[in-house]
Each structure stands twice: as C-alpha cells, then as structure tokens.
Structure 1
Amino acid sequence: MYFLSLLHFLKDENPDLFYAVPWSYGTLGLLVAAEIQIVPAKKYVKVEYKPAHSMDEVIKVFSEEITKKSGNEFVEALMYNKEEAVVMTANITDNAEESKVNSIGNFWKPWFFKHVQSYLRTGPGVEYIPLRQYYHRHTRSIFWELQDIVPFGNNLLFRYLFGWMVPPKISLLKLTQGETVRKLYEQNHVVQDMLVPLGKLRESLNCFDKELDLYPLWLCPFLLPSVPGLVHPKGNKDEMYVDLGAYGTPKRKGFHFVETTRRVEEYVRSVHGFQMLYADSHMTREEFRQMFDHTLYDNLRDKLGCKKAFPEIYDKISKAARI
C-alpha cells in the first residue's frame, strides 16, 4: 500500500524535489502542473548563416557565437562532414527586410537542412523566417531522416506535387512496418543525443566520426548549471555543454548497433557527458549510475517511499525495459 500527497516545490521550498525531479522520468512522482517563464513572441526570426570549412573553424565560430557578450537567442550548427558545417545564429524581431523573408514551412520549399547546406557553396547569408516556421524548421524532413524514407523527397517536382503530404506521421510508419523491416531498422538505424562539455567538442566530433560516420550531425549548445540532481557539471561552476544529435543510418564500415552504441556511451561517460534518455541505452545499471548522479535521487526515493510505487529510472529507460 502507498499514499499520494500533493507537494509544491521551488528552489527555496522543497528544494530537494526541485532539483531531483528533472530527468527522473516519473520515478519520484507525477508532475501535475508547472509554472514556466514565457517571453513575448515576435513575427520573425533573423537567421545568420556562417559556413565553416575546417573543424578548427567550426569549433572557433561555434564557440564564439555561444559565448559572445551581446548574446544570441538561438545558436545551432549542422555538420555535413568532419570538416564542414554551417553555424546558425538567430534572434526574434518584428522587423524584416521583405526581400529576405523566407517562408521555409511552405511545402514546396527545400528541406531546411538542404537549404542550410547551400551556404557552404554560396557563403554567409542572412534571412528572416516567420517565427512558427522557424520553430518547425526540422519538422517537414524529420530533421534529415525523411531522406532515408523518401530519397527523392527533396526533388523539386516531388515537392510541388506531393510536398503537402510530408512529414508522414511516425505512428503510420510504424503501423505499416513489417517485423523484418522493423528489426532491420533497429539494427541499422541510430537516434542518439549525447551531451558533452564544450571543451571536449573536438574529440567528441572525432569519436562520432570514427564510430558512426553519420551526417548531418546536429550541434546544439546549452548551459548546464552547477546544481544538485542527476545531471550537473563535474566541477563547482556552470559549464557550457553541446548536444550532439546523430539521426539516421551510419556509414561507418563495421558498425554494430549494440557494440558501437556502447563504445560511444563509454566515451561520453569518460568526459562526464550524458545521454538523452529517450534514445536506446545499452549501459549496465552500474554504468548508468556512473553517468548520472543518483545521490539526491536515492535519498528522495527512500524518504518519500517511492520504491513501492515507481521503478528506478534505469528500469524504465534501459533497452531491456523497452522490448
């Protein structure tokens, strides 16, 4: 038997819960409401495209843009091979140069990642994207996964005639998959987001290239605060991290889904990085606890009697739990 109680928590009210709930995946309780900060919306997002043609240049431009004092509201980069990427910075605005407005969400438009790639050839550029369409910039092509499903999907004729049909619903794709196709997909397809310190970006890119050879590769920065909980920097200071998003079919010869994923997971642990838990995880329980700090989490599980009601995080997200 277990009892339910409604708790309110802030940084200074039930702070243990405030810091332990993120990443706990419903294993400390059920989150029934949350207060979030919002900012006023504006009509457009001004996007600046900065191509880079060597890994040194990629890291230099990317690092400068996420640490500059004037700040950017959005920063991301798409790597198209080990030595080429386009770094994008963006800020919301109500004012736009009409000749530079690009409604990328229209179904006849090129897929966004293909549009971005064109700047490697044409050089730096600036354009204005309607706000909602910017937020859905990777939706139509499911990042770049749709090219594996519909290889000709970015063809001009296909976009004009059938572009309104994409993206297909993921639930429909799964429903129409046979068992053989599903197993082949699981054995040869990667969806991983690994969070690594900015200072380890170069060797992380080399690791992903060596193990996966999977491009485009998504680079998305975020500031990891030094606070208690499952995920925090190794030291006592806030630290800039980078999400490396790998989605698709690796081209690296000798790729083996489980063995390769475990090697990448081992590397990420070695640099005090983290794996996004919606992805397939092949870590053991001990390795998982090495990656994620369970100190506060375990204390709350004991204190609140959660063990009688909820499984541990590992028992919810491990590969064995998803079969």
Structure 2
Amino acid sequence: MKGWDAHEDAVERLLASYGRIGRGDRIRLAKKTSNLFRPRQGSDSPGLDVSGLDGVITIDAEAQTADVQGMCTYERLVAETLPHGLIPYVVPQLRTITLGGAVTGLGIEATSFRNGLPHESVLEMDILTGSGELVTATTVGEHADLFDAFPNSYGSLGYATRLRIKLEKVPPFVALRHVEVADAAAAVKAIEVISETREWQGERVDGLDGTAFSPDEIYLTLARFTDVEQTTSDYTGQQVFYRSIQLREIDSLTMNDYLWRWDTDWFWCSGAFGAQNRWLRRVWPARYRRSDVYHRLVGLDERLGISTVLDRIKKVPGRERVIQDVEVPVDRLPEFLEWFDAEVGMRPVWLCPLRTTRPWPVYPLTAGEIYVNVGFWGTVEVSAGSPVGAVNQQIEAAVHDLGGHKSLYSEAFYDQKTFEQIYGGDVLAGVRGRYDPEGRLSTLYEKAVRNS
C-alpha cells in the first residue's frame, strides 16, 4: 500500500503540474492508456502528472473501507483488499479500469442488481477542480453539488485524487449456475424475481449477469458467494469462459477468478485476434491474454489500417465500429433486442441488471427501478458511402425511445441540445460555473461527442 505520506507527495506533484499548464491551455491528464473507445484530440501542452496516484493508500478492514487513489486500477485494488476477505461493492469486468474512471464514467458488474454502480459506494472524494482547487466532496456539506454531479462527468468537472469507498465482505469461492431461459421475455421475468428476492428457486444470488447468444439461446449466470471449498475451473488457460456457459450448467471459481472471468478474453472479443483458436492459444502467453493487450492491438490496427486492407481484399463495401453499453428499462428489453437483431445483428450480447440507489443528475436513471445494461462490441458491415456513425445513431435513437440511456465511454453522435437534455446539461453548467469558471476543462459534450 502507498500510505499517506506517499499520497501527499503525489498530490503535491499533481498540483505542481497544474501550475505548469498555460492559462490558455485545457487541463487534461498526462495518461498514456485508456479504456475509452472514442478518438481523442492530441495536445502539445503538458498534462496533469498523475503518475503517483495509482495505488491503495490504506485499508480499514474493521470498518470495511479503503482510501484509494484515483488512478488505481481495480486489478491493483482487488489485490490489496482480497487478502482481507474484502472487495469493492462493484468490480468492473476489466482489470485496468481505474477507480476514478469507474466513478466518473459509470462502471458496472454482476453485483449491480443489488449494489448499484461504483460511485454509489463512495463515501468521499478529493477532487482537483478546473480552477486548480483541491476539495473534499461528500454527500452533504459545502461540496455536495460536486459529489452528486461527478458520476458520468468523465473529467469535465475535475479529477478524483482520493476516494474513500465501502468494501464488501466476501468468502473465497463462487458457485455458478448458468440458467437457460426460453427468450428475452423469460429473462425479464427471472431478472425481476431475482432483483426483488435476491434468490432463484430457493438459492441465494449474489451476482447476476447474462449472455444472449441468439433470440432463443439466453443464459442468466447466477453467482453465489460461498465459504464451502469448491473444485474450481480455470479460464485463464486454454478454456474460454463464455463458451463454458453453453456447455455446463454448474461451475465454480475462486473469488479472484470470478472477478476477472471476463477479462482474459475481453468477454468474447479476443476471437477477433485469434486468441480463441486452440493452436494459437497454446502459444499465446497467458500474461498477454487480457483486455488491455487486446485494446492496444485495436489501437495498432487503427494506426496501421490492417482491417481496412483486409476488407478491401474481401470486397467489404464499408464497416462501422459498434462498441456500446446501453441501459434500458427491464420490461423494454425484449423490444430492444428484437430491434437490435433486425437492425444491427450482432451477437452475443451481454446483459447486466442494475438498480441505482438514489437519483444522480448527470445519468438520470430512475432510482429503484430495474434496468438492464446491454453490451455489444464489434463491427458491422455498412454500404459504401454510408454516413459516419449511422448505425450508432440508430442505436441512440432506439435507446432513447425506450426510456434508456447510453454510456459515454465510446463514440456518441447526439446533437448538443439532445445531449444536454439527457445528461444533465443544466446541472453540469451550474457546477462548472462554480468549480471551473474559466472553462479550463473540456465540457462533457466536448469530451463525449466532439472528442476534444
């Protein structure tokens, strides 16, 4: 663990780096890696030095809390908390997502049906604002407005240097049950029952997500955390987790392997790189079968244009990247999937139920209502000369019509008026006026749509 002295030194370096940025330059992080899937404009100005803000400061095992730096990855965070039998309330699926990133960008996982989203277990945050002030924000008090608006603000209100979060006590093992349901309507009924009772057929459910391989092949994966020693599977080697869902109803994992079950193959996206080919997988080092490596391969492809050349050879007229997570009300899930199959045609898709515990102004899901996150990641063929982002714009419209919302980690195409109506534009403007009166930080619209 870092300890408080190291943390204070890192904050001093951060503040010094803020002072070196010219008054006319935008404030941004000096950060080489990202889990975002939207282009970002480069800048010649120096960024904020966050190099020392990547660890756990301290853990209070008795109080079940941790003070964590904003750039700490969940991989590092879990490595520190799990030996105490503790984990964050929500651990996003990918190892290199940072705590600050998940809080300001809305992470999600299988515990979200009972624990909400990562920011809902945050007790307080130290935030560097656009004006260069370091403030401590909590649910009440002088900076409660910043605390409330921070989730889904993606750095447009500042950057969290420290977060105090609640931790959940967990046992060493996870018993899994993959329940096949007849269709999306049956999935909705099961999700509603489990969300209300936290049980299925008399058995406790601690984690809930789903995989829809086709309209009539949908599985809900029910996780039960247990102290009972299990014979566990290993999906960090030659076996692929998402394929096991179709092959076995009952399974077991260690808690650590359960938390990272989706990371090894980036859900199912590793197949695009050949990592699921049994011969190539044998020689692909396990340490390189992880989401951040695949993310870098995507970036390499974008720079070199390999996919574009292959498409030209195969005479593919055009291709659009469709990498999105959306939230729709649970009862509208069948409608969305039917529309999605007809208009987009991408499978599998990931399903993750969630409930927020209170209203959050910049991501206005109705508190207490059940939503389902639908995740789909890949590309689709489009006609030659198709408008940029045409498929993604259709998805935005469909989700909006169904009373849902779209996460902003990937490309967005909303016009500014619509965007600000959906994502709390008036609230953001008021908070920015207080904490960033000179507009040193990019607005949320500039970040999410204009990619600045």
**TM-score band (shorter)?**
0.7 to 0.9
Is 1:321 aligned with 2:451? Answer: yes
Indicate how the Cα distance of structure 1 residues 179 and 69 shifts in structure 2: closer, same or farther if over 3 A, else same: closer
The equivalent position to 2:241 in structure 1, one of 112, 127, 139, is 112
The equivalent position to 2:306 in structure 1, one of 181, 190, 202, is 181
Whole-Å separation in 2 of the counterparts to 1:72 and 1:306: 47
For structure 1, the 5+ residue unaligned runs are 120-124
Alpha-carbon contact 1:193-1:276 (below 8 Å) kept: yes
Indicate how the Cα distance of structure 1 residues 130 and 29 shifts in structure 2: closer, same or farther if over 3 A, else same: same
Alpha-carbon contact 2:208-2:220 (below 8 Å) kept: yes
Which amino acid in the other structure matches residue 267 of structure 1? A
Alpha-carbon contact 1:74-1:89 (below 8 Å) kept: yes
Indicate how the Cα distance of structure 1 residues 46 and 126 shifts in structure 2: closer, same or farther if over 3 A, else same: same
Whole-Å separation in 1 of the counterparts to 2:180 and 2:197: 18
Question: Percent identity, aligned pairs only?
Answer: 19
Query: 2:132 is paired with a residue of what secondary structure?
Result: coil
Deviates more, 1:34-43 or 1:239-248: 34-43
Q: 2:378 — aligned with what?
A: 248
Deviates more, 1:33-42 or 1:244-253: 244-253
Is 1:11 aligned with 2:144? Answer: no
Which amino acid in the other structure matches residue 350 of structure 2? W
Alpha-carbon contact 1:212-1:252 (below 8 Å) kept: no
| TM-score (normalizing by structure 1) | 0.85
Is 1:211 aligned with 2:343? Answer: yes
For structure 2, the 5+ residue unaligned runs are 1-22, 24-129, 312-317
Is 1:260 aligned with 2:391? Answer: yes
Give the count of matched residue pairs: 308
1:262 is displaced (CA, Å) by 0.6
- Once the two structures are superposed, the pairs formed by residues 132-211 of structure 1 within 5 Å of their partners are 132-150=256-274, 153-162=275-284, 164=286, 165-167=288-290, 168-175=293-300, 178-181=303-306, 187-211=319-343
Which amino acid in the other structure matches residue 243 of structure 1? N
1:155 is displaced (CA, Å) by 4.2
Whole-Å separation in 2 of the counterparts to 1:85 and 1:214: 14
Whole-Å separation in 2 of the counterparts to 1:87 and 1:215: 15
Which amino acid in the other structure matches residue 50 of structure 1? V
Whole-Å separation in 1 of the counterparts to 2:383 and 2:215: 16
Which amino acid in the other structure matches residue 146 of structure 1? S
Indicate how the Cα distance of structure 1 residues 97 and 136 shifts in structure 2: closer, same or farther if over 3 A, else same: closer
Query: 1:301 is paired with a residue of what secondary structure?
Result: helix
Query: 2:136 is paired with a residue of what secondary structure?
Result: coil
Which amino acid in the other structure matches residue 273 of structure 2? I
Whole-Å separation in 2 of the counterparts to 1:306 and 1:205: 43
1:112 is displaced (CA, Å) by 0.9
Deviates more, 1:174-183 or 1:284-293: 174-183
Whole-Å separation in 1 of the counterparts to 2:407 and 2:421: 15
Which amino acid in the other structure matches residue 139 of structure 2? K
Q: 1:58 — aligned with what?
A: 187
Whole-Å separation in 1 of the counterparts to 2:382 and 2:299: 26
The equivalent position to 2:252 in structure 1, one of 110, 121, 128, is 128
Query: 1:33 is paired with a residue of what secondary structure?
Result: strand
1:182 is displaced (CA, Å) by 5.9
Is 1:22 aligned with 2:146? Answer: no
Deviates more, 1:38-47 or 1:210-219: 38-47
1:199 is displaced (CA, Å) by 2.2
Alpha-carbon contact 2:131-2:440 (below 8 Å) kept: no
The equivalent position to 1:89 in structure 2, one of 222, 227, 237, is 222
Whole-Å separation in 1 of the counterparts to 2:205 and 2:322: 30
Alpha-carbon contact 2:322-2:391 (below 8 Å) kept: no
Deviates more, 1:248-257 or 1:206-215: 248-257
Indicate how the Cα distance of structure 1 residues 90 and 306 shifts in structure 2: closer, same or farther if over 3 A, else same: farther
1:156 is displaced (CA, Å) by 4.0
Deviations 1:57-81 (A, max 9, x none): 2222233223324463210000001
Whole-Å separation in 2 of the counterparts to 1:251 and 1:65: 37
Deviations 1:168-223 (A, max 9, x none): 44224523555433668993332100111112111111222122111110001111
Q: 1:122 — aligned with what?
A: none
| TM-score (normalizing by structure 2) | 0.62
Deviations 1:119-175 (A, max 9, x none): 4xxxxx22210111111111222111121221xx43444444446353444224523
Alpha-carbon contact 1:229-1:294 (below 8 Å) kept: no
Which amino acid in the other structure matches residue 175 of structure 1? L
